Amino acid sequence: MWKKSELREAPAPLEGPVVGTIIGGTIIWFALFLGQLPFYGWFADNGHAWWVWTCLAGGGLGLIGIWYVRGRDAALKRAAAADRS
């Protein structure tokens, strides 16, 4: 019996504005955190304080993501330049 992966080739990965996408997502997470912060008392009273901290964690992880994708983008550009020369 064949596996489905043996029936066809995997598609090429999509490349796009990865750095801009991660920066945009990080900004959204921080905006959501700042937007919910004035209502922290209500969130805490109703057992939803984790929403606020989830937004902060998303923003923090987004900062790590920005660092990662900028390094990846630079490495891809260096590799492309090395291949051309």
Q: DSSP string spanning 41-69? A: HHHHHTT-HHHHHHHHHHHHHHHHHHHHH
- For residue 85, the model assigns a pLDDT of 78
- Cα pseudo-dihedral 63, 68, 71, 74, rounded to 10: -100
- Report d(CA 26, CA 36) in Å as an integer: 16
Does residue 43 contact residue 52 with C-beta atoms inside 8 Å?
yes
Confidence of residue 10 (pLDDT cuts 50, 70, 90): confident
Question: pLDDT tens across 19-76, in order?
Answer: 999 999 999 999 999 999 999 999 999 999 999 999 999 999 999 999 999 999 999 9
Q: Which residue has the tokens 């959204």?
A: 28
- Rounded Cα distance between 85 and 62, Å, is 34
pLDDT at residue 6 tops 80: no
- pLDDT of 5: 59
pTM of the model: 0.79
